[in-house]
Each structure stands twice: as structure tokens, then as C-alpha cells.
Chains A and B, each alone.
Chain A
Amino acid sequence: MGTPGNDGAPILSMIGIRKSFPGVVALDGVDLTLRAGEVHMLLGENGAGKSTLMKILGGAYRNDAGEIRLRGQAIDINSPRAALSLGIRVIAQELNLVPHLSVAENVFLGAAPTRLPGVIDWGRLRADTTALLADLGMDLDAGAPIHQLSLAQRQMVEIAKALRGDAAILVMDEPTSALTSREVDNLFRLIDRLVQRGVAVVYITHRLDEVYRIGDRVTVLRDGRLVKAALLSEVTIGELVRFMANRDLDDHFPKRRQAPGRELLTVEGLGRRGVLHDISFKLHAGEVIGIAGLLGAGRSELARVLAGADRRDTGSIARDGRAIQLRTPADAIRNGIGLLPEDRKAEGLVAELTVARNLALPHGRRLARAGFLPRRCEEQLAEPIVSDLRVKATPAQQVRLLSGGNQQKVVLGKWLAGDARVFIFDEPTRGVDVAAKVEIYNLMNRLTESGAGIIMISSELPELLGMSDRILVMRGGRIHDGFDATVATQERVLSAALGVTAAAAGIE
């Protein structure tokens, strides 16, 4: 992207940074050097210390030891405000926008141009925002309220907000985890533009394909230590994975195919007003159906209807050939259908409760004796699941203290304790590190081998192609196409999702 080399003097150096929390050393003498106009990839598994390092840079945490130099000057970042005034902007994974205010109001939140003290100059606010958006090449209306925007557009607003004023360093934590590939392209073009202006971009991601697409330089952390800092032209993707995981993961998709068995789930003419239309498909025992589509194509809506979370308006659903009603999630669970929701924090977990209590939540009725839970029954239910899924936690730990991958395993584990035969996985590996991804894939294999069927929604095409038997492509709430995964290609699935014919897209 930019023109990196060893000639540019570093704009920022973090040297020997240390940070410990009660019981854990999160960072143990980590160095990070940034140069103006580079995209610096920060890699590492969940819990490697990336976020902690960036929180120190952003002023959210204080480092216990080590030095930070900006343009050669030692600096002390003692608050988020200090970081802002030094030109350091951190965009967190969870966006922080006020939903009922407009784009312009959010971009200039706390810094709106005023006519008199306290009286906002609305004309200038709008004009300044429009100019900023145009400058960044963003096609957004300054007056649109945030809650009407898509996730990708909100992210754009967040970036515009970060770049207001003089930004020298921009940190992005997994910015593409919720974006479709076209939106990712837009984002990368924007990053390119920023780099050309001399902004140093720190980019955290779990998607290795992105690393080489936009990165110039890379720093890999593992267990709070610096493992490797190099130009990307000097390391291969295989080496990066080894640095991160300290083990070879040549087989990303350990898919084991099964001969499809009996029909587990039969969906016919399923519809929900305004979101789903005439959805029909069959899921067999031992089969993984991948569902592709852009954001808003109706994939998660389908998942929610099948899991009893939302009602259907038309159509029928049969389990093992027997028509079933799905009025509530409890109906779905009774019929052996388990949902791994898209947003695990909002829909999958009760953060304040322990691992054991989260795992036992769907099974309370079965565990209880006359309403009372026998002593340790939840722990007894949890222990085999925790060890089986290799959750790095004890059953008595609060879920909120776990890393993303381990939290995801807990959500999965909720359904392993029951007799679920149909699993709906909505973005099962989003925000999960490489090693945990492989574990989730292996678990999918084990489930299908035991005769379960899986419906997997994913925005990562390689994952869909690698782990599915069949791929259904959704667009506008309908199933538009279906492929056998062994013959499908990324291009064909993508053009179906976009609504472009394969011929028009120039694909064989």
C-alpha cells in the first residue's frame, strides 16, 4: 500500500510495555513501532494481548512499565482524552454511536461548531460533516440518523469521527468482522487513502487473507509477548500462523463428509412478512448446509424463525417428517433444534452468570426435582462439556471473564448437553481465533458423524465452501441459488449473492 521501508523514522514507539491484572500478566515487555503511512497488522490469538496493548495506546489502561515515544518524544498517555489530543484514535470492535442522533451530530459529538457558547451552528455542522465525508470518499448523508444506517455505514461514521481533527494514528480492531466483501473493499480503499496522507494505521484481524491484502508490516503477539515484527514481504502466511499459534495449522478446514441420512428438517414455503419469502429446503442427517448471502439478505431472520425466536407467517416445518409448530424457542428446543445466535453477547450468554449456569440454562426443567436444582447438578452437567470442548475456564467462572473463542464454545455447549439434532450456527467463528476456529470445525464434524444436521450461516466464503456439503444463497429474503459445495467456487457463490449472473461476472 504505502511505500514502507526501513528509512522512515518511526512516528510511534512502544518499548518494553508491561501490564498485569490481578492473577495474569497481560503484556510482558512488548514493543511496537509504527511508521507514518503504513498499515501495521497486529496479530495474535484471543488473549494474546492485542487489545490490552491498544487500550494502553488509547489511554484506557496505564502501562505498569515501559516507554511510549511519539515522534521521538517520551509521552504519558494517562487518559483517553490525552490520547485524542496526541492524535491517537482507537476504533473499538463495538461501535459507540448515539443511535438517535444524525451522522453529523455523531461525528462532531462534543465538538460541534457553535455560534454562541452552547448554541450549535447547524449549518456549519452539516457543511463540515459533508466536506469531511466527501474528503474521505464516503457516500453518506450527514443528516441521516444513525439507527437507519447499516452496520458498514455506521463503521464509516465511526471512522469519520475518529479522523476529525488531526489524526496521526488510527487503530482498528477487527473492522471487517461484520462486513460483506463489497463493504470490505470500500473500507480498504478508504484505508489506502488514509495511508497516502501519512496516517499510521494499526489493524487487528483474525482474517489472514486480509493481512496481505492491505498490510505493510506485521507484529505478532502470543501470550503477552512479542513473537515477531517484520515486513510482510518477508514472512509467509504459514509462518504467521505458526507464530500466532505456535503449531502448524495447514488444514484450515478439516471437513469430513458423510453420506446424507434421513430427512431431519423439511422446510416448505416458509415466509415471514417483509423478511422471508417462500423458503424451501431439506436438511439431512450428517449434512451441513451453508447459507451464503450479504448482510440483510434474511439469513439471520431465517435462523431465528427456525429456532422459534420469531414467528413465521406462512409455510410449514417438519422434524423427522412430522409437522411441528414453533411458537417459542422452547418449542424448538423440545424438537431438538438448537441455535447459536449471531451476536453471542446479546443473544447467547448471560455474562454475569457462571459457565455452568449458562450451560444449564436450557436444561433447567430436566435437571430440577420439583423445581429444586440438586446440589452441583449444573457443575456435573458442565464438567464434561467444558473438558470436551476444551473451554479454558472452570465451570464456576463468570462467562464475562472469558475470551471470545471460549465464550463461543459455551454457547455451543448449551446445546450439546441436550438432545439437539438440528444445529443452526449463525456466524459460528466470528471474532474467534484460529485455533478455536479449527476446534469449532472439528466439533461440526463430530456432530454430523453422530447423525446431526447443521445449518451454518457465514459471511466467510472460504469457511462456507470448506465446511458445507451444500450451499444455499439468499438474497432479499429468498433462496436464489443452491450449489453442491464440492463444485461451488467463491466467485459463483458471491455473484449469486450479489444478484449478478455468472456469465455477466465473467465466470466459467
Chain B
Amino acid sequence: MKARRFGTVIGLLALCAVLWALTPHFLTVSNLLNIAQQTSINAIVAAGMTFVIVSGGIDLSVGSIVALAGVALGVMLQGGQSPFIAVPGAIAVGTGCGLLNGLLVSVGGLPPFIATLGMMSVARGTALVFTEGRPVSGFDEGFRWLATGTAGFVPAPVLVMLMVYAVAHLVLTRTTFGRYVYAIGGNEEATRLSGVAVRFHKTAIYGVSGALSAVAAIVLTARLNSAQPIAGMMYELDAIAATVIGGTSLSGGSGSLVGTLVGALIMGVLRNGLNLLGVSSFLQQIVIGGVIVGAVLVDTLLKRHRV
């Protein structure tokens, strides 16, 4: 697993080297910060996705939760609430959706694909009904600091991303909860027979994913200065891609947040580089699809030779 992580980092560095050779605009401080900022939202969603996938599940509802939590935030802010109320409120909305996913999976016994597919539609629909399909725009400067502010030279979204990863990494590697995430993904029945409250922890795992989707929604809303019910379309696929490129197995039981962060950066660097090179957005989709499949294919082939 260490070797795999190393491989992903090499892939990222090789990609950077190629882009550096192809365009002088790539390796500049402002461009790199730009990439980090653009990556931050996908990376935050993918952190939650990593918890879910390591536990052997999948969460298709993250994009819709981004929209719903964003809209909830926007409505509260426009209603004159302080960000100190609205931001935790949005996170509560996201967490609630996630916990509902978790209950459907753990207590209801639904396959995660189905439970979160349902939530994907319900959360999106709720966001649209709530706003009558219109964006909620125009927030005060204090809140927009989350998009425009910097700490030293680090843009605020990047700061949020790094904080999310630091905490999430600690939780996944150093707490009993983190251990149980791996154990449930590796062998749920053996974990249950070891006395672990599997239902409780599974529910919490989807709660984490929902909460982090809401954090991404907050950053996105600040950046756009607008909360849109159609925001977050296809985010689930980007998050799954970043997680999988980062070496987490879709069958559960293994993976790491460091890998996911690198996976998200690979996607960010690739999009940025292709833009700098003037590759059309249609063609970009083809390249990104190829990279996702290629990365996992290399991983699979390496594993086969390990025996």
C-alpha cells in the first residue's frame, strides 16, 4: 500500500513535469495556488467519500447535498442570520442528510448505491423546491472571506481543505472510529462479532460524508457569492474518481486520505494544464476519463503481479 501511494505521488510529479515542459505558465506561484483553490472543493467532498468507500460503501448523494446545504446556507444568510449561525446550520443540514443515508443503509439494510441514489434525487429536489429553482445571491464581505481571504499567502479555501484533511487523517488513522471504518470495509461480519457497533458506525460514516459535503458547499457558496440549487452536479463522480485514483479500493477495507488528496490534485492539475494548453473542454473529458481508467488499470496490473 505504501508503494501504491508512492506511485500516485510519482504520477502527480510526472504530470507536473510534463506540463512544466509544455507551458511556462504552469509552474508559477499564482497558478499553483489557483490549482489548489480549484481542487479544494472536490478534495473536501472526496475526503468524506474516502470514509464511505473504505467502509465498503458508496455515496452518490454528495453533489446534491452540496446543493441543498449551500441553498440552506444562502437562505439563512440572506435572512440576516450571522455566518456563525448559518455555517453550522448548513453543516447540520448536510450531516442530517448523511445520517439519513446511513440509517437507510445500516438499519434499513438498503444497498448504499440505492440509498444514496434516492438521497441524490431527494436532496436535489428539495433544494429546487426550496428556492423555486432560483439562485440565492449576494452575501456580505465577512462571509465571503472564506473565498477571497488569505492566511499569509494561502487562500482560505485551501486552508479549509488542509484543515479538513488534517483532522480527517487523524480520525481515520488514530481513532477507534477510523479503525472500525477499515474493519467494516474489510469484513463487516467479523467486525460485528468482535463486538463493534457496526450499525452505529456505518450511520456515522455517511454522516461524515454529508458533513464534509456541507463544508464544500460553504466554500463553493462563498466563492460564487451565490447559492445555486443546481450546484454540485456530477461532484459525486469527481469525488469517487479522486478517491479511486488515490488508491482506495472500491471493494473497501483499504485506502488513505493522503492518496485521495493526491488523487484530487492530479485531477486539478490535469484540468488546469489542459486549460493552459488550450485543449477544448470536450477533449478534456476524454483525457480525464482515460486518466481515471489508466490509473486504476496500472494499480490492478501491479497487484496481479504481486501475487
Q: How far does the alpha carbon of A351 sit from the alpha carbon of B252 in the complex, in Å?
A: 12
A371 adjacent to B176 (CB under 8 Å): yes
A361/B183 contact (C-beta < 8 A), A328-B197, A371-B177, A372-B175 known: yes
| Residue of A334, A348, A360, A364 touching B193 (CB-CB under 8 A) | A348
A368 adjacent to B193 (CB under 8 Å): no
Task: Give chain B nearest CB distance to A169 CB in angstroms.
Answer: 24
Does A91 have its Cβ within 8 Å of any Cβ on chain B?
A: no
Please name all residues of chain B whose beta carbon is closer than 8 Å to the beta carbon of A330 when the two chains form the complex.
195-197
A368 adjacent to B186 (CB under 8 Å): no
Does A184 have its Cβ within 8 Å of any Cβ on chain B?
A: no
B187 adjacent to A362 (CB under 8 Å): no
Q: How far does the alpha carbon of A432 sit from the alpha carbon of B175 in the complex, in Å?
A: 34
A373 adjacent to B176 (CB under 8 Å): yes
Q: How far does the alpha carbon of A395 sit from the alpha carbon of B50 in the complex, in Å?
A: 26
Does A332 have its Cβ within 8 Å of any Cβ on chain B?
A: yes
Does A434 have its Cβ within 8 Å of any Cβ on chain B?
A: no
A362/B254 contact (C-beta < 8 A), A346-B187, A350-B187, A353-B182 known: no
A interface bracket (residues with beta carbon within 8 Å of B): 20 to 34
Does A437 have its Cβ within 8 Å of any Cβ on chain B?
A: no
Please name all residues of chain B whose beta carbon is closer than 8 Å to the beta carbon of A328 when the two chains form the complex.
192, 195, 197
Please name all residues of chain B whose beta carbon is closer than 8 Å to the beta carbon of A346 when the two chains form the complex.
187, 189-190
B186 adjacent to A329 (CB under 8 Å): no
Does A141 have its Cβ within 8 Å of any Cβ on chain B?
A: no
Our count of residue pairs bridging A and B at CB distance below 8 angstroms stands at 83
Q: How far does the alpha carbon of A350 sit from the alpha carbon of B183 in the complex, in Å?
A: 6
Interface size on B, residues (CB 8 A): 22
In the complex formed, the residue of B with least CB distance to A334 is B195
B182 adjacent to A361 (CB under 8 Å): no
Does B94 have its Cβ within 8 Å of any Cβ on chain A?
A: no
B183 adjacent to A341 (CB under 8 Å): no
A372/B174 contact (C-beta < 8 A), A330-B197, A333-B195 known: yes
Please name all residues of chain B whose beta carbon is closer than 8 Å to the beta carbon of A339 when the two chains form the complex.
193
A348/B190 contact (C-beta < 8 A), A371-B176, A373-B176, A373-B179 known: yes
Task: Give chain B nearest CB distance to A346 CB in angstroms.
Answer: 6
Does B229 have its Cβ within 8 Å of any Cβ on chain A?
A: no
A364 adjacent to B186 (CB under 8 Å): no
Does A159 have its Cβ within 8 Å of any Cβ on chain B?
A: no
| Residue of A341, A362, A373 touching B174 (CB-CB under 8 A) | A373
Task: Give chain A nearest CB distance to B81 CB in angstroms.
Answer: 32
30 A-B pairs (CB sep. < 8 Å): A61-B307, A309-B192, A328-B192, A329-B192, A330-B195, A330-B197, A333-B194, A346-B190, A347-B187, A347-B193, A348-B190, A349-B187, A349-B190, A350-B182, A350-B183, A350-B186, A352-B182, A352-B253, A357-B182, A357-B183, A361-B183, A362-B196, A364-B176, A364-B179, A368-B176, A372-B175, A372-B176, A373-B176, A373-B179, A414-B194
